[in-house]
Each structure stands twice: as structure tokens, then as C-alpha cells.
Structure 1
Amino acid sequence: MTRAVVFAYHDVGVRCLSVLLDAGIEIALVVTHEDAQGELIWFDSVAELAARYDIPVITPDDPNVPEIVAQIAALAPDFIFSFYYKLMIKAPLLAIPARGALNMHGSLLPEYRGRVPVNWAIIHGETQTGATLHYMTEKPDAGAIVEQTAVPILTDDTAGDVFRKVTCAAEITLHRALPSLVAGTAVAKPQDLSKGGYFGGRRPEHGKIDWSQSANAIHNLIRAVAPPYPGAYTTLLDKPLRVLRSRVIDQASNNDANSVFFCDNHGCYVHCSGGGTLQLLALEWDGKAVSSAEYLATFGNKALQIN
């Protein structure tokens, strides 16, 4: 029987671990994370799935310490798999499995190597992304590709929408690749690292809207950080305004030197000084959800500069 040690977290971790279990892979150990205190947990639990199958689970702060390396080496796994695991898996661990260590990455490598690839792909206006199963090397997301599956990014898809597609793509990719991996017949294609690039993590403050950009660029930011992520934000009448959903009404040039916010009976809009008009479909003003009707009742239809 093929034996694996699995490093996994989040929905991708749950679905890919499920594929291994369905295929009869012996899971000797699952390495996962404790949920961060105060974090919005909107995804499934790898630890709970492992518990249903009586699989041992550990949650080390650093999986690369000598005692964890020794524990995993003693299990003599054929494979190590990493599915949305947050921490780097370093050379001593990568050297353990007899048949290789593989990672599932949430993009079409070599594009969008590094952190939060789904969010970055949306910010850059990509029309597709996907999931890639590749061998791990000391350099992250740089190993040879075994299999990948593409999914579309639609014009108004949020990061949550796309992440659900990528989770499905990850499951399909692993399910398709696993038989050849187990049989020892999988063919891996080296990446052309001159293409694509590395991207870093994102923090809530990166969701601040720059209204001097075009309506398209602002729309891409809004949907890339929409809930369950922290959301895009700005200020209006000296109070915080979160923009949770939008759509581009037009991309025409705008003669206004400043971006202008206004509401009417159909909704709330911004003429963007970088060109084009956005409809703002979901808003939170000063911490409370606000509709166009509520805004009109309070402030009327006067246009306001927004920055």
C-alpha cells in the first residue's frame, strides 16, 4: 500500500485529502494548523476530516524542527503532499519521501507563484486561473509540474467565487494525477521560471481604494478582497466606507479631476477620475450596511467627492 504524510489546511486540504482517502492511500500522519484566534473560519477543517478516519494529527509551529523531521522520517512515507499548508517545508523534510514531495498550488504555474495567487490573479484582471500539482523544491512553487487544471474567472467573480472553483480544480487535478503517481509512470514537466513571477502576501490595509485608477482596476481590487476577505475600503464624509461588491457600468473617459460618489433610485455609483463608472452594489458606511434608498433619505442626491 502507498503511504503518505499530508500537510494540509483549508478547503483545498480537505478536498485533496479526501481524494487520497478515496484512492486507498495510507495516511500515516496529517500536519495542519490550529485556527488563528479571532479569524473568520469560513472553510472546512482538515483536522476534523482526519479525526473521522482516526488519522494522527499534529499542529507544530514549525514542522522543520529536528524532532518533527525525525517523526516523519520514521514513518517512511512514499510521498509527502502539501495542500494549502501555510508554512515552508524545507529540504530535510523534502528529502524523506521515497517517491517525492508534491504541492498543490492555486494558479496555473509558472504564473502567480507565491502567496494568495487567487487574489493576485483577480487584481491583475486575469480571465483564468487554476490549480497545479508540482514537485516541491527548496525554492517555493518552482518544481516540475505533474498536472494542472484551468478554471475561468468571470468579470464579476469575487475571490470567494474563484477560490471555490480552484478548490474543485485541485480535487480534479489530484484525482487525475494520482493513479500515475502511484504506478510510478507520472511525467513531470520542468517549469519555465522566466515566465510568471512571485507575489507576496496581502494584508487588510492593501484593500484601500485608489480612486485615481480606472473603474476596471478598482472593480478588480474590490472583488479580489471581497468577503470572506477583509474588503476594499475608502472614506466618505470623513467616515469609513467598505465597498463589498461592484460592477463596471462603463469604461468611458471621465472629465472629472476628482472621483465623484452619488446615489439615485437605482443604486450608488462612482465616476472614477481614472476613467469609467462603477456601481457599488454592497456598502458598509461607518460599520453599518447602507442601501441607496437609506443614503438618499439621509443625504439626498448630491454628488460628493470621494478619495
Structure 2
Amino acid sequence: MSQPAKRAVVFAYHNVGVRCLKVLLAGGVDVALVVTHEDSATENIWFESVQSLCETEGIPFITPADAKAPELLAQLQALKPDLMFSFYFRHMLPQAILDVAPAYNMHGSLLPEYRGRAPTNWAVLHGATRTGATLHEMTAKPDAGAIVAQQAVPILPDDTAFEVFGKVTVAAELALYDVLPQLLAGTAPRTPNDLTKGGYFGGRKPEDGRIDWARPAREVYNLHRAVAPPYPGAFTDIGPRRYVIERARPYRGALPDGLAPGLAVVDGAILGICGDGRALSIHSLLADGLRISAAELKTQLAA
């Protein structure tokens, strides 16, 4: 006689939320409720919609403004889920919610590395050569619970955070898919999360993309990769204009003597001169949101 389907409540947002929710549905999980977010009018929404998936699949969903609201806790308690999952949900869940049922979170790094916010962006910023996704038990302390499953992916030298995030999304799907039968059977492995390694990182703001041209070229390039569009981008202000690097690569040629750190036009090409005497070759530069040519930049820099 077959066992009844496990009932789950899922907190989810973003691409990882969509893909992991689809894994649960494919695995026969009874998703009783999805808790997600309203899209912000001030955010560049380049990612998939959990709400749209719920509407397509006929899954009940809510978008509470406060994850600590007593009404939400009462609703979850009434559903009596067997399991709860958090897939890129943006709010911390209070202990009272975690006490409702065993809860698991999907984090976008190889824990214990890059705990906290924006793990993919931080990994690229720090020049990491690999990252991945980790499913772990949820505790009141973020990203601290025992590890249930991990899937690694490479970070290639010229990958942007956007490109790496695509890999992390697939890694999250694979990690959950592989361990889901064991989770449902109650036999999933648990590996201690060694918090003496790695570290916590905070959220990132657009202002964090400001370029310090006195830094070495590799650091400036990693900053560009970490925040390249569709993220807000690495930028520099010259007078009233804001210049944002859209696409760039390390410059391999010889530089003329006497170039000051900052934007420059050399032999009809846009370069970003850095403090170590090296440069970035900027293939696409935005000036106040519009793509600008080398000739236009040269005119503006001379003004």
C-alpha cells in the first residue's frame, strides 16, 4: 500500500524558487501553500516568477509583508505540514515558524563558505573558482544548520555573477532532486556545518559598485564581473555623468606612459586604467544609461 504524499509549505522566490518548486512537484510532494514576495516596482525583475508558477499549477500562495506576523504562523500551524522548504525567500523565518515542521533552506554557495546575503556576487568579487548550492537544515542562525546536499559548479575566469547564478540555479535543482527521495523517506544524510570556516557576508547595494581605479586591475575586473548587468553594474562618476561598465575584459596590450587611473581612450578603444599599471578593455560602456562610443567618451573627457 502506497504511503500518502508528504505535505509541504514552501517559501520561495526568484529562479531558484521556481526550479526547486518544480522539483518538489515532480517528486510527488503535496505543496499545500507557497509563501512568496510581491515584485518590487523599484527592482529590475529579470528572474522567473514563483507566483506565475503557482497560478499555472493551481497552488495556493500568499505574499505576506511580514514573515513574523502571527496570522502567518497560525495559517502554517493549521496546515500541519510534514516538511517546510525555503528557496531564495528573502526574509528570515522566526523560530516559531521553524518549530512548525522540519525546515530546509537552499543556499547559493558551498556552505560554510559565503554564508549570508548575495553569495554568488561575493564569490565572484573575491575571485573564487568554484561555488554551488547547499540544502541545509534551517536554524534560527542563518546558514548554520546541518548540510543535507551540495552540488558544486565552476566559476570561469570571465564569468559574471549573472552567468554563475545560472549555474547555481541548476546546481540547486540537482542537489534537491538527488536527495528528495531520502528527505521524504526520512533517511537524508546530515553533515555538520563547520562554522569555523568560511564567513558571513551582508547584502550589497548599488553604491557598492563604485570603482576605485587606484586598486589593481584584477580587483576592478572582479568587481565588474560581480555586479555586471542585470545587476546595477560597476560605475565611476566624472562630473555630472555616471559611467557603468556593461562588458569588459582584462587588457592584454601595452599601455602608453603617463596614463592616470580612470577611464581613457587609447587607439580608438575605451580602457579603464588601474592602480597597478594594468587596464580593463571596456567593450561596452553606458553613460547615464545609454551606450557610448569611444569617440563620444573622448569628447566628454576633454570637455
The partner residue of 2:110 within 93, 108, 111 is 108
CA deviation profile, 1:113-152 (whole Å, cap 9, x unmatched): 0000011011101111100000000000000000111111
Query: What corresponds to 1:206 in structure 2?
Result: 208
The partner residue of 1:57 within 49, 54, 61 is 61
Alpha-carbon distance between aligned partners in 1 of 2:96 and 2:112, rounded to the nearest angstrom: 25
Alpha-carbon distance between aligned partners in 2 of 1:251 and 1:202, rounded to the nearest angstrom: 33
Give 2:107's aligned amino acid.
H
TM-fit CA distance, 1:158: 1.0
Query: What corresponds to 2:230 in structure 1?
Result: 228
Superposition map of 1:1-307 within 5 A: 1-97=5-101, 100-236=102-238, 239-250=241-252, 258-265=260-267, 267-295=269-297, 298=299
Mean alpha-carbon deviation: is it higher for 13-22 or for 178-187?
A: 178-187
Mean alpha-carbon deviation: is it higher for 166-175 or for 61-70?
A: 61-70
Alpha-carbon distance between aligned partners in 2 of 1:235 and 1:84, rounded to the nearest angstrom: 33
Mean alpha-carbon deviation: is it higher for 24-33 or for 152-161?
A: 152-161
Classify 1:31/1:251 alpha carbon distance in 2 versus 1 (closer, same or farther; 3 Å): farther
TM-fit CA distance, 1:155: 1.2
TM-fit CA distance, 1:282: 1.2
Alpha-carbon distance between aligned partners in 1 of 2:110 and 2:257, rounded to the nearest angstrom: 39
Q: Is the 8 A contact 1:251 1:277 kept in 2?
A: no
Classify 1:191/1:256 alpha carbon distance in 2 versus 1 (closer, same or farther; 3 Å): farther
Alpha-carbon distance between aligned partners in 2 of 1:114 and 1:272, rounded to the nearest angstrom: 30
Secondary structure of the 2:32 match is: strand
Classify 1:104/1:256 alpha carbon distance in 2 versus 1 (closer, same or farther; 3 Å): farther
Secondary structure of the 2:251 match is: strand
Mean alpha-carbon deviation: is it higher for 64-73 or for 100-109?
A: 64-73
Alpha-carbon distance between aligned partners in 2 of 1:256 and 1:244, rounded to the nearest angstrom: 26
Q: Give the total of aligned pairs.
A: 299
Alpha-carbon distance between aligned partners in 2 of 1:125 and 1:212, rounded to the nearest angstrom: 18
Alpha-carbon distance between aligned partners in 1 of 2:146 and 2:200, rounded to the nearest angstrom: 16
Classify 1:111/1:284 alpha carbon distance in 2 versus 1 (closer, same or farther; 3 Å): same
Alpha-carbon distance between aligned partners in 2 of 1:223 and 1:113, rounded to the nearest angstrom: 20
Q: Is the 8 A contact 1:257 1:273 kept in 2?
A: no
Classify 1:95/1:286 alpha carbon distance in 2 versus 1 (closer, same or farther; 3 Å): closer
Segments of 5+ residues of structure 1 without an aligned counterpart are none
Alpha-carbon distance between aligned partners in 2 of 1:245 and 1:137, rounded to the nearest angstrom: 40
Classify 1:294/1:257 alpha carbon distance in 2 versus 1 (closer, same or farther; 3 Å): closer
Alpha-carbon distance between aligned partners in 1 of 2:52 and 2:288, rounded to the nearest angstrom: 37
Secondary structure of the 2:100 match is: coil
TM-fit CA distance, 1:84: 0.3
CA deviation profile, 1:145-202 (whole Å, cap 9, x unmatched): 0011111111111111011110011000100110110111111101110000000001
Q: Is the 8 A contact 1:256 1:273 kept in 2?
A: no
TM-fit CA distance, 1:275: 3.9
Secondary structure of the 1:195 match is: coil
Classify 1:172/1:251 alpha carbon distance in 2 versus 1 (closer, same or farther; 3 Å): farther
